Amino acid sequence: MTHQIAVIPGDGIGQEVTPAAVDVLNALDVEFEFVEGEAGDAVKEETGEALPQETRDLAAESDATLFGAAGETAADVILPLREVVGSFANVRPAVSYPGLDAVQPDTDLVFVRENTEGVYSGIESEIADGVTTLTRVITEEASRDIAEFGFDYAEENGYDDVTIAHKANVMRTTDGEFLDAAEAVAEERGADYDTALMDALAMHLIMHPEDYGVIICPNLAGDVLSDLAAGLVGGLGLLPSANVGPDNALFEPVHGSAPDIAGEGVANPSAMILSAAMLLDHLGYDDEGDRVRDAVEAVLDEGPRTPDLGGDASTEDVTQAVLDRL
């Protein structure tokens, strides 16, 4: 069976790390057909649109999408793309690897972030000169869905600790809804869990990440806390993510287009390659996903390494080393 994969490299280092992930997928014994689509700042400059209709269609009709990163147009690209694939769950593992100088070497966290509402619904307005508002939408249905997904993920991937992050002491109605719905799911399942106020959680994650496993969060909290966790394990060059819906999914590194290093050929391809490993899991190729993760882990441990990890290797050197290990 051939799987059609939409490949959207985007801008900046997206153009450099996306081919690395495609090379890795091509090295496996799985039939893929890669179809490339355009999105981001460059195509907006050309056509006036950051996410052309044909790219939307491509993502919608493919079995899965690999997305690199967009630049200034990121919100105009990734928010609609997540919608096109119907993804309600954003999964962001943050794992510390042996051999790397991680701030916290015992980190093995997975953020399960609600991906459709919260403060990212885009309902913003300027109601008067210098006065702006934002409507934060939280529904019972979306909160239950993300909680179900998070508890399933914990079970399937062997995580004992599940934490529901919230700020229901202040956002009593909206985060109150999120917390109530998530706790109701936990009670119905008879699952063990903890709850944590998201600000205090940020501090605890820095000091004791080993106390946590799967963290179920509202949209904004998941975005911020997962970047924080990236810092614990060695930087954004290491964090993959999956945007998962009932019938489709999109895989992307957590990082952006990194204009400060774009064009130099030194971007760390690990986050993107690990995103491809999550794509493999999603399509049912768990063994291949593990093989890719093992290869990346071995290269991170023994080198070569890109400059963000203290080395002087290029994106291509690292990609080749991963391919050699496969």
Q: Which residues bind ligand NAI (CB under 6 A)?
A: 13, 17, 69-72, 74, 78, 236-237, 252, 255-261, 267-268, 271, 306, 308
**Nearest of 92, 245, 70 to residue 165 by alpha carbon:** 92
Q: Which does 310 bind (CB under 5 to 8 A by kind): Mg ion, ligand NAI, none?
A: none
Q: Which does 223 bind (CB under 5 to 8 A by kind): Mg ion, ligand NAI, none?
A: Mg ion
CA 307 – CA 191 distance, rounded (Å) = 43
Q: For this structure, is 308 an active site residue?
A: no
Residues 251/279, Cβ–Cβ less than 8 Å? yes
Residues contacting Mg ion: total by CB under 5 A: 1
Rounded to the nearest whole angstrom, what is the least distance from the CB of residue 88 to ligand NAI in the complex? Answer: 17
How far is the CA of 66 from the CAs of 40, 108, 188, 297, in angstroms? 14, 24, 35, 21
Of 143 and 315, the one with the shorter C-beta distance to ligand NAI is 315
252 contributes a contact to Mg ion by CB under 5 A: no
Of 237 and 289, the one with the shorter C-beta distance to ligand NAI is 237
By three-state DSSP, how is residue 293 classified?
helix
Catalytic residue among 41, 167, 212, 281: 167
Strands 32-36 and 3-10: parallel
Q: Which stretch binds Mg ion (CB under 5 A): 3-11, 117-125, 144-152, 223-231?
A: 223-231
Using the rule CB under 5 A, which residue among 11, 223, 297, 317 binds Mg ion?
223
Of 254 and 266, the one with the shorter C-beta distance to Mg ion is 254
Catalytic residue among 97, 120, 212, 285: 120
Catalytic residue among 57, 106, 199, 312: 199
Rounded to the nearest whole angstrom, what is the least distance from the CB of residue 260 to ligand NAI in the complex? Answer: 5
How far is the CA of 167 from the CAs of 39, 58, 86, 157, 196, in angstroms? 35, 38, 26, 27, 8
Of 17 and 146, the one with the shorter C-beta distance to ligand NAI is 17
Transcribe 11-72 into DSSP letters. Answer: STTHHHHHHHHHHHHHTSSS-EEEEE---SHHHHHHHS-SS-HHHHHHHHHSSEEEEEE-ST
**Nearest of 165, 93, 79 to residue 123 by alpha carbon:** 79
Rounded to the nearest whole angstrom, what is the least distance from the CB of residue 75 to Mg ion in the complex? Answer: 10
Q: For this structure, is 317 an active site residue?
A: no
Residue corresponding to tokens 């993502």: 59
Q: Which does 74 bind (CB under 5 to 8 A by kind): Mg ion, ligand NAI, none?
A: ligand NAI
Q: For this structure, is 223 an active site residue?
A: yes
Q: For this structure, is 227 an active site residue?
A: yes
Q: For this structure, is 63 an active site residue?
A: no
Active site members? 120, 167, 199, 223, 227
Q: Which residues bind Mg ion (CB under 5 A)?
A: 223
